Every structure is written in C-alpha cells, then in structure tokens.
C-alpha cells in the first residue's frame, strides 16, 4: 500500500518566528524522500505535521489525494519511527509489535486487561500473531519476541521500532532521525538495511535526518531545508552536481565543498585574487561572489593556483590535501583536493592546483546560484 503525500502552503508560527514558511511538497507514491537540514530548520516539525502530531497554522496535508489536515494521528494510517524508538516500556517485544494491529482490529472491550482476552475473537488474535511473527522475521528479531525493551541493545530496539511500523501496511512510513542513536558502524549497516527494506516494501518513506550522508545514500529525492523553507528539492545527484544555493552546496558532500571569494568583473569574467579563472557569469552580476569547487574536481598541475599544504589526510583509498591559497597570506583560504595515492605531498610544500571551469559553481551575494560558462581560456 503506497500513497502519495501532498503538502500545500504549510505554515507554522507567526511573523519573524515562523518555524515553517509556506511549504509545498509532493511526495510520490513509493518514493524515499529525505528532509535534511541543520537542527532548527523545521524538518522535524514538518514531519510531525504530516503525522498529525502537530497542527499547521496554514495550509493542508493530503495523503493519497484525501485531505487529512483535520484528522487525528491515528486516523491517518501512517507509521512513525521515533528517534528514541518510543517502545512501550511495560510490553514485551511481541506486544509492542502487535499494538498497532490490536488498536485497529480489536474493539475497546477486548483491549481491556484480563476481560479482553475473553472478548477478543480467536481468529483475529491468530492473524495478529502471524503478522507479528512475519514482521519480526523480516527484521531478524524473532528470537527477541519475549523480551522487554529494557533488555535490548540500541540496534535491537531500532529493529523492534521498525517492525512495529511495518506490521500494518501503512500509507507511508515517517522516520525521525531513526539512526542517530546508533554507533557509527551500526548506522552504516542499518542504512543499507533501510534502503533494502524500502525496495522490498515499495512503500512511501519520508525520512528526516541532519546527516547528509544518510540522505545521499538512501533517498530517491532530497528536500534540503533551511530556516523553515525548502532550499532545493531534487535527486541526490542533482543536489550534489547543481546546488541551487550556497547553503545547499555547503551542506551536501564530504568533505565540504571548497568556497573561495571571487570578483565578477563588469565584463562578466570571474577573477580570483586578480587572476582570471576562465569562467564568465551570465547577466549583470558584477561584484563580489563565491566560487565553489568540489575537492575531487581539483587536481595538481604544473601551473595554476599556488597552494601551501597544511596537512594531508588519508581515508583509505582517498587522500585529501588541506592547504591555504597563497595569493593572500593575510587571509588564508582553506582548500581541499583529493589526490591519488602515489603523489608525494608534504606539509609546507607549495603546489599548484587547477580545476576545469565547467565544474565550478558560482553563487551571488544573496547565496543563489549564478549561471556561469567557461570562457575559451583554461583556468589559471
């Protein structure tokens, strides 16, 4: 069961304190969409509005084409995985996973303790039990069914929370930083499992995270949020290759993109410390601007920008060089590039680097992307 989720004109808060400013977002059925951004950007609030845990001040939420803005959380048929997993502490794992089904399929009378057992139909209970066991099997926690949450490790609790979410096929899965309480290794492992789970279920996933790696590795599309707005919505490679704003460029990618202050001359050509870069800005955008280049686009060349090496950093196959651009000693600009293993680079060496101009991103003073094209000259 996969449904679309449509947000139209969602706003929350008033005046300067707006948490969300007029958000439009349409999540396709079966899509894995991540909401990423720094803490306080409004991504969690947006997810909670979709879940119905918070009410928007303006705008509407539709699931599968039906307006649910005024519906209670339980009536929206959404499953949510919380950051703290929110398992019921007094219930066994089996009861925890069964709860969403029991609440939907059993009457109030049969949910009461003690008497309930008599009132519930044996048929329904059997079906519930079967679904619970299936969900547990999917997540490899069958052997934990009779434990209490307090007896489980963080990773196991995470799986129970997932099993509780998928036991009833919900219209969509909502996940609020579900991996942030796990250690780094387990987190990488669960990323793969979550992506696999999404492929197998073919369900709609809306995933909130502050970790761009999680978003980049799992999502079909990413909505990058900042200050209550969606800065850019697109596939991971669109955000990486064509960041719409300086914020997006800064947020996406490890190591972070190199940013250097440049000057757009009246004729449009872009100059760095007085050197032309072989890049021209379209339109009338003369004045200071910011140039962004990814580390992997920079290479060591016989001539180019002089860079004083600070240190090198090895990440297995990748090696990164950190250095200061030498044109202005008083204002060192940190620059990173990735190099192949064989090149010998030492601290305090001065090397020359360059990058293909078509791989550079130019941003105006307001942070928005400026259209730019390479001129015939090679980058200095």
Partner 1 sequence: MARVRQFLPHLVLGAGAFIVLLPFYWMFLTSIRSPAEIFDVSLWPIPKQFDMAVNYERAASQVPMMRFMLNGLIVCLGILIVQVATAVPAAYALAKLNFPGRKLLLTLVIAALCVPIQALALPLFVGLAKLDLLNTYFAMMAPFFLSVFAIFLFHQSFRSYPDEIIEAARMDGFSEMEICWGLVLRGSLPSLAAFSVFSVVAHWNDLYWPMIVVTDINLAPPPLGMLFFSDVESGANYGALMAGAALITAPMIVCFLLARRHFIAGITMTGVK
Partner 2 sequence: MTLILEASSAAAGRGTRVRSKGERRMMWKALLFVAPAVLLLAAIYIIPVVVLAGFSLTDYQLGALSTRFIALENFAKAFDDPVFLRSLKNTVIYAVIVIPLGVFLALGLALLVHGRKRSRAFWEAAYFLPVTATLVAMATVWQFLLHPSIGPVNAAIKWLGFEPVAFLSNPTLLIPTMAMIGVWQILGFNMVLFLAGLTAIPKDLYEAARLDGARHPFDRFVTVTWPMLGPTTLFVVVTTSISAFKVFETVAVLTKGRFGSETLLFDLYLEGFEYSNTGYAAALTLIFLVIILVLSIGQTLHLDRKVHY
- In the complex, the residues that contact partner 2 under the rule CB under 8 A are 14, 52, 55-57, 69-72
d(CA 102, CA 104): 5
Which residue is associated with the tokens 């059925």? 29
Report yes or no: 339 and 296 within 8 Å, Cβ to Cβ: no
Kindly tell me which of 54 and 318 has the beta carbon lying closer to partner 2: 54
How far is it, in rounded angstroms, from Cα 176 to Cα 53?
13
Tell me which residues in 19-48 interact with partner 1 (CB under 8 A). Answer: 48
- What residues does 66 pair with on adjacent strands? 63
Of 174 and 337, CB closest to partner 1:
174
Q: Which of residues 64-103 bind partner 1 (CB under 8 A)?
A: 72-74, 76, 78-80, 82-90, 99-100, 103
Which among partner 1, partner 2, none contacts residue 169 (Cβ within 5 to 8 A by kind)? none
Give the nearer residue to partner 2 in terms of CB position, either 57 or 296.
Answer: 57
User: Which of the listed partners (partner 2, partner 1, none) does 201 bind, with a CB threshold of 5 to 8 Å by partner kind?
Assistant: none
- Residues contacting partner 1: total by CB under 8 A: 25
What torsion, rounded to 10 degrees, do the Cα atoms 70, 76, 79, 82 define? 10
CA distance 121 to 206: 35
Of 82 and 320, nearer to partner 1 (C-beta) is 82
HSE of 145 in the Cβ direction (CA atoms, 13 Å)? Answer: 18
Pick what 183 binds: partner 1, partner 2, none; C-beta below 5 to 8 Å, kind-dependent: none
Give the contact letters, 102-141, x = binds to partner 1 (CB under 8 A), - = no: -xx------x------------------------------
Cβ(100)–Cβ(161) below 8 Å: no
> In the complex, what is the shortest distance from the CB of residue 72 to partner 2, in angstroms, rounded to a whole number?
7
In the complex, the smallest distance separating the C-beta of residue 145 from partner 1, rounded to whole angstroms, is 18
- CA distances to 273, 303, 329, 335 from 380, rounded to whole Å, are 11, 8, 19, 16
The answer to the question of residue 53 lying near partner 1 (CB under 8 A) is yes
335, 324 Cβ separation under 8 angstroms: yes
Give min distance, CB of 225 to partner 2, in A: 22
Alpha carbons 294 and 297: distance in angstroms, whole number: 5
249 sits in which H/E element: helix 246-251
Phi, psi of 127 (to 5 degrees): -60, -45
- Distance from C-alpha of 8 to C-alpha of 331, rounded to nearest angstrom: 46
The answer to whether 25 and 9 are in contact (CB under 8 A) is: no
**Cβ neighbours of 271 (radius 10 Å):** 15
Instruction: State residue 20 phi and psi, 5-degree precision.
Output: -130, 135
As measured in angstroms, the least distance from the Cβ of 80 to partner 1 is 5
Q: Closest distance between partner 1 and the C-beta of residue 79, in Å?
A: 7
Closer CB to partner 2, residue 228 or residue 236?
228
Q: Which does 57 bind (CB under 5 to 8 A by kind): partner 1, partner 2, none?
A: partner 2
* Contact of residue 78 among partner 1, partner 2, none (CB under 5-8 Å per partner type): partner 1
Per-position x/- string for 174-213, each x denoting binding to partner 1 as judged by CB under 8 A, each - no binding: ----------------------------------------
Query: Footprint of partner 1 on this chain (CB under 8 A)?
Result: 48, 51-53, 72-74, 76, 78-80, 82-90, 99-100, 103-104, 111
């Amino acid at each position: 069961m996969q449904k679309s989720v449509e947000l139209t004109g969602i706003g929350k808060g008033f005046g300067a304190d707006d948490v969300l400013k007029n958000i439009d977002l349409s999540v396709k059925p079966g899509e894995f969409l991540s909401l990423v951004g720094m803490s306080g950007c409004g991504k969690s609030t947006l997810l909670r509005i979709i879940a119905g845990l918070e009410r928007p001040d303006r705008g509407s939420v539709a699931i599968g084409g039906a307006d649910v803005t005024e519906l209670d959380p339980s009536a929206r048929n959404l499953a949510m995985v919380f950051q703290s997993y929110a398992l019921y502490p007094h219930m066994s794992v089996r009861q925890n996973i069964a709860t969403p089904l029991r609440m939907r399929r059993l009457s109030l009378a049969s949910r009461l303790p003690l008497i309930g057992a008599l009132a519930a139909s044996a048929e329904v209970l059997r079906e519930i039990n079967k679904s619970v066991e299936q969900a547990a099997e999917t997540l490899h926690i069958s052997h934990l069914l009779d434990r209490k949450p307090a007896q489980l490790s963080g990773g196991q609790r995470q799986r129970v929370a997932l099993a509780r979410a998928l036991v009833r096929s919900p219209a969509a899965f909502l996940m609020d930083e579900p991996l942030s309480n796990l250690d780094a290794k387990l987190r990488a492992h669960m990323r793969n499992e979550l992506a696999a789970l999404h492929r197998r279920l073919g369900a709609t996933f809306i995933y909130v995270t502050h970790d761009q790696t999680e978003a980049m590795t799992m999502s079909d599309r990413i909505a990058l949020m900042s200050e209550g707005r969606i800065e850019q919505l697109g596939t991971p490679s669109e955000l990486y290759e064509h960041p719409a704003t300086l914020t997006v460029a800064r947020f996406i990618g490890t190591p972070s993109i190199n940013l250097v202050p440049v000057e757009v001359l009246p004729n449009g050509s872009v100059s760095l410390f007085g050197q032309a870069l072989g890049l021209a800005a379209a339109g009338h955008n003369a004045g200071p601007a910011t140039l962004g280049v990814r580390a992997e686009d920079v290479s060591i060349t016989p001539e180019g920008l002089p860079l004083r090496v600070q240190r090198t950093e090895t990440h297995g196959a990748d090696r990164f060089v950190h250095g200061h651009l030498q044109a202005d000693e008083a204002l060192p600009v940190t620059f990173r590039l990735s190099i192949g293993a064989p090149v010998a680079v030492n601290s305090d060496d001065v090397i020359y680097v360059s990058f293909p101009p078509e791989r550079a991103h130019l941003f105006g003073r307001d942070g928005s992307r400026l259209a730019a094209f390479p001129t015939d000259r090679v980058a200095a």
